[in-house]
A = this chain, B = another copy of it.
Amino acid sequence: MSSRFFTYIAGNTGSWRISRIHALSGEGLESADRMDIRHDSIVDLPLGARWMLRGVSSNARYVTRQEQSDLAALQASLGRPEATCAALILISKSAQWWDLAQDVRRDILETQSAHIAIGFKYLPAIARRLHHSRDLGEPYDFVTWFEYAPAHEPDFEMLLSTLRATPEWGYVEREIDIRLRREAEKTTREKQ
């Protein structure tokens, strides 16, 4: 099961350089130079690290069969050589959100907010991996990692601002937006 766990470690090592940590709502996070991404569940904060966040790549919670196959046909993998820009978006939703029934959450997420449809428009340029963290007792409910080429940075900004204007975001209580860069030649040394 450990193969579905990921840990994002902010400190002084890792191939991704942290360029910005911006708290949109709720408390912020300590600044750090670099981020190391481990494909495992790390228990103890490594020496020299400032903080870490764990998440698990789990089953899809909202997509329908049609959406699932449309996404699978178009989405790109992480680790593309040209994708030297990344973002780590940390989100927690309210207790009210988590108490809602499945059909009500789906209605807000897709019928009212078009979350899946909006993400689809940016494929394959923007690749992502969603991690569920709430049931691990982590400080954020969701940790999402995005990768894209520098040319698609305006698209990524548009994706975020569109999502942030949806009814779904009315349930977001905490959000931190972390941006990262890596040197193109370091791709082969990536641990992922």
Interface residues of chain A, those whose CB is within 8 Å of chain B, are: 1-2, 4-5, 41, 56, 58-65, 67-68, 98-104, 106, 132, 134-138
Contact = CB atoms under 8 A, between A and B. Distances in A.
How many copies of the shown chain assemble into the complex? 2
Contacts of A104: 64-65
A137 B58 CA distance: 11
Contact of A1 (B65, B100, B137): B137
Contact of A59 (B56, B64, B98, B136): B98
Contacts of A5: 137
Contacts of A100: 65
Given A1-B137, A5-B137, A135-B136, A65 B103 contact: yes
Contact of A137 (B41, B102, B103): B41
Given A62-B102, A64-B101, A65-B104, 7 more contacts: A1-B138, A5-B137, A41-B137, A61-B61, A61-B102, A65-B103, A136-B136
A41 B102 CA distance: 26
B135 A103 contact: no
Contacts of A61: 61, 102
A116 B43 CA distance: 37
A106 B65 CA distance: 11
A1 B134 CA distance: 8
A84 B98 CA distance: 32
Contacts of A65: 100-101, 103-104
